[in-house]
Structure 1
Amino acid sequence: MDGTKLAQRIIENSAATAAELRRRTGVTPCLAAVLVGEDPSSVTYVRMKRRRCEAAGVESRLVQLPAGTTTAELVATIRGLSLDPSVHGILLQHPAGPHIDERAAFETIAPEKDVDGVTMRSFAAMGFGLPGFASCTPGGIMRLLDEYGVELTGKHAVVVGRSAILGRPAGMMLLARDATVTYCHRYTPASELSSHLRRADVLIAAVGKPRFITGEDIKPGAVVVDAGYSAGNIGDVDFETVKDRASLITPVPGGVGPMTIATLIEQTVDAAAQQLGVDLKVLSA
């Protein structure tokens, strides 16, 4: 499944919408990225997201805080951005550091600006299939499955990993689409993991262990989504041993990664339109 091609189309559509929004209102959609410290991976991710935003006609505002920033200081910064009418979306790059209460920081983001889908309100919306902003990686995965015509109703989906921003919301979104969902995680007995994997019609790998899932674990014809990433562009799935058993599979890189950023940009433009009171259906007419 080619995430790069679909992501490019989403970004191009978002750029056109942002341009029309700017023409009609004089306002450019703005995403504020908050970065605590100088973790090399986080710095790289934020730089890449900012570059993609600017290419799509979305203003990218970087708020860089020192590594010693306290939770209270971070919360105050995010509260200020939530109250700033010129900011339409807020992204807190994580991890923010072991001394930071990330949940407290996330919950400070105004729901209408939670374009990364990290608040409890957004999670509830995803779980109930209600309007709201999706967590970007699971949201991108769902778009990719739809693009390739993957039917989810009645299918057995297995999610390996249960992080608050990937595994858990991915499972909730699959459940909202009438799949039967099994979560596997660090406490799933190793002796049972393979049997769970082999029953999956749709497998979402989000565990963060390189080549953790191999071909012998895959049901023939399964759809495999590799949402993991390790140094050296290595995913959670051993691509070479899985690709001949799966009916569809996402590569690393070029699969889920581009979809995450495209979803973030699209949701920022959507958030700007909502805050400006512009109907996107009318805007695209």
Structure 2
Amino acid sequence: MPLILNGKELSETIKKELKLEVESYISKGLRKPALAVILVGSDPASKVYVRRKKESCEYVGISSLSFNLPESTTEVELLELIGKLNGDDDVDGILVQLPLPSHINTQRVIEAINPEKDVDGFHPLNMGKLATGKDDGIIPCTPLGIWIMLKHYRIETFKKDVVVVGASNIVGKPMSLLFLKNEEATVTVCHKNTKNLKDHTQKADILVVAVGKPKLITDDMVKENSVVIDVGINRLEDGKIVGDVDFDNVKDKVSAITPVPGGVGPMTVVSLLINTLSIYRKKHGFSPHPLTEI
């Protein structure tokens, strides 16, 4: 049996630790950390994600400021709200839930957020810091969550061959940069135009898959005793949630694997809390959060 990388269990453990941490700040007379979450429109999946984030914030003691805006909200109105939150010293982090309605320029919105409050880590300044190996940027939540999971389960990355399938700014690119940091691993990034995907994935000691295609990775595409990180969340017609990896057939071939659900997803949410607290700590003269150390 492979090692099941239980993100749900690990995230609950971390949240309990974060709760105690926040309580220690309050006991010193400091204000509560605060995260502003902006939702534009009524996308069902986005509403679920925002609710989960709000519940997690409330559990650990972070004030969650919700801004639920109608679909008709203009780009100018959204940018004005972001500007106000940028200037509010009592707001530590700002998160704009994606995707945004088609009439709003997503990149323009991301770049409008103060990079020091950019809990998602998507601002070009934070992405640039990650690309150049600087330690004072904010790391995107899903890659950070995966990294924390790898460290927790003592999965060695040094000198490993890593293949990342998916080249998005949200997961694929920043994930590959984390593995490259300090020349930890040799990284191959694959995407929709990669020829003979199987030739690449079969060589991976660590395989990270984030494309949003159900059961894309089959057992013949993975290396014996490799580590598989499945970021995909796909809902089938029967309502079942599956990942990008054919879990049932792949699990007996690998040494470790994340389940879907219950793997990477919960780690993404807990990383949002960690990033918020890291921003809060810096603002109050503390060092960055230790869980963000790469």
Q: TM-score, normalised by structure 1?
A: 0.94
Partner-residue secondary structure (3-state), 1:35: strand
Given candidates 215, 219, 232, the residue that maps to 1:215 is 219
1:277 correspondence with 2:275: no
1:202 correspondence with 2:206: yes
The letter of the residue matching 1:259 is M
8 Å contact kept, 1:17–1:269: no
8 Å contact kept, 1:10–1:266: no
The letter of the residue matching 1:134 is I
Q: Which runs of 4+ in 1 moved over 6 A?
A: none
Partner-residue secondary structure (3-state), 1:158: strand
1-structure distance, mates of 2:186, 2:263: 24
1-structure distance, mates of 2:263, 2:149: 9
Counterpart residue number, 2:170:
165
1-structure distance, mates of 2:134, 2:169: 18
Query: Deviations for 1:16-45, whole angstroms, at most 9, x for unmatched residues?
Result: 111111222330001110101000000010
1-structure distance, mates of 2:20, 2:130: 27
Counterpart residue number, 1:34:
38
- CA-CA distance at 1:75 after TM superposition: 1.6
Counterpart residue number, 1:184:
190
Counterpart residue number, 2:269:
261
| Runs of at least 5 residues in structure 2 that lack an aligned partner in the other structure | 290-294
- CA-CA distance at 1:277 after TM superposition: 2.5
- CA-CA distance at 1:76 after TM superposition: 1.6
1-structure distance, mates of 2:287, 2:186: 35
Deviates more, 1:20-29 or 1:219-228: 20-29
Give percent identity, aligned residues only. 41
2-structure distance, mates of 1:121, 1:16: 31
- CA-CA distance at 1:150 after TM superposition: 1.5
Counterpart residue number, 2:145:
140
Q: How does 1:57-206 map to 2 (within 5 A)?
A: 57-131=61-135, 132-177=137-182, 178-189=184-195, 192-206=196-210
1-structure distance, mates of 2:13, 2:114: 28
The letter of the residue matching 1:246 is V
Counterpart residue number, 1:245:
253
8 Å contact kept, 2:227–2:254: yes
Q: TM-score, normalised by structure 2?
A: 0.91
Partner-residue secondary structure (3-state), 2:220: helix
| Runs of at least 5 residues in structure 1 that lack an aligned partner in the other structure | none
The letter of the residue matching 2:248 is E
Deviates more, 1:42-51 or 1:127-136: 127-136
- CA-CA distance at 1:263 after TM superposition: 0.7
Counterpart residue number, 2:292:
none
Relative to structure 1, the CA distance from residue 54 to residue 19 in structure 2 (aligned partners, 3 Å threshold; closer, same or farther) is same
Query: Deviations for 1:95-119, whole angstroms, at most 9, x for unmatched residues?
Result: 0122221111111111221111111
Partner-residue secondary structure (3-state), 2:241: coil
Given candidates 233, 237, 241, the residue that maps to 1:233 is 241
- Between the two proteins, the alignment pairs up a number of residues equal to 279
Query: Deviations for 1:171-214, whole angstroms, at most 9, x for unmatched residues?
Result: 1111115211111111112xx11101101111000000111111
The letter of the residue matching 2:81 is T
8 Å contact kept, 1:157–1:180: yes
1-structure distance, mates of 2:125, 2:272: 17
Partner-residue secondary structure (3-state), 1:86: coil
The letter of the residue matching 1:184 is C
